[in-house]
């Protein structure tokens, strides 16, 4: 696993604990050290974070795996990224059992959904929420999601990406405001974005990704299944 992927994991764990309470700002991450926890099949990385809402550097050990599963069909390649712990050190036991079957609603398991049709958006507006432009700035972790999606697709520097549109789907109707869906523990994100890098890379232009975020009820656990288009 390369430095870019490990750094994305460190930032992802900060986002995991920030999505419900903090306005996520842009973070820069440096790899301090990493080693394999062979007996768990996981990776432990010490990440140094600079954050505008924290004073100075924050050092955190994130334990994760990106080998939880990868599937391929005619339309999408699906990578699974999982966070199991975020602690000051890597020397404590980690609960690496992911309770997908019992703790997660079947709506959020199984095959990844297909891209939304225009009819779906207009027929059931309590099931879907179109994220407003102002919310894209307020919830910076959404930009991290597209960086992860682009990295899963291209395996190259994901920083030159911009969001075009985000739609959030949940099984549950919102209680008071549709924007509540943004912070649901389990949700599906349909994201269109563009890569603004050099055109000679063959990657410049518009892209789509479907990201399914799930939590199994265990503190520190989070899974992202990232479906990226072929190409």
Structural domain spans, the chain: 3-229
Could you tell me the pTM of the whole model? 0.74
Q: Distance between CA atoms of 129 and 12, rounded to whole angstroms?
A: 23
The DSSP 8-state label assigned to residue 131 in this structure reads: P
Give the model's pLDDT for residue 192. 94
Q: Could you read off the pLDDT of 127-171 as tens digits, one per residue?
A: 889 999 999 988 878 888 888 888 878 877 667 889 999 999 998
Give the model's pLDDT for residue 215. 86
Q: Distance between CA atoms of 69 and 65, rounded to whole angstroms?
A: 10
For 150, counting Cβ atoms within 10 Å of its Cβ (0-12 exposed, 13-18 middle, 19+ buried), the class is: buried
Give the model's pLDDT for residue 113. 92
**pLDDT band (50, 70, 90) for residue 210:** very high
**pLDDT band (50, 70, 90) for residue 41:** low
Give the model's pLDDT for residue 53. 45
Give the model's pLDDT for residue 21. 36
Q: Any residues with CB less than 8 A from the CB of 107 and at least 6 apart, and which? A: 171, 186
3-state secondary structure string across 203-224: CCEEEEEEEEEECCCCCCCEEE
């Amino acid at each position: 696993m390369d430095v870019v992927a490990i750094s994305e994991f460190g930032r992802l764990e900060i986002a995991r604990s920030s999505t419900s309470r903090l306005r996520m700002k842009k973070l820069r991450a440096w790899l301090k050290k990493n080693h394999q926890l062979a007996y768990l099949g996981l990776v432990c990385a010490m990440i140094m974070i600079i954050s505008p809402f924290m004073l100075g550097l924050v050092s955190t050990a994130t334990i994760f795996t990106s080998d939880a599963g990868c599937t391929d069909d005619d339309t999408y390649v699906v990578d699974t990224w999982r966070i199991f712990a975020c602690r000051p050190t890597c020397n404590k036991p980690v609960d690496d059992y992911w309770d997908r079957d019992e703790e997660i609603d079947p709506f959020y398991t199984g095959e990844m959904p297909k891209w939304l049709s225009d009819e779906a958006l207009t027929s059931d507006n309590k099931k879907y929420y179109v994220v407003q432009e102002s919310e894209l700035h307020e919830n910076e972790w959404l930009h991290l999601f597209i960086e992860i999606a682009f990295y899963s697709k291209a395996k190259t520097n994901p920083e030159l990406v911009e969001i075009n549109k985000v739609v959030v789907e949940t099984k549950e109707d919102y209680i008071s405001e549709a924007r509540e869906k943004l912070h649901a523990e389990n949700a599906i994100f349909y994201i269109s974005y563009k890569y603004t890098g050099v055109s000679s890379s063959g990657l410049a232009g518009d892209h789509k990704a479907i990201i399914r975020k799930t939590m199994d009820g265990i503190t520190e656990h989070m899974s992202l299944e990232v479906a990226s288009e072929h190409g």
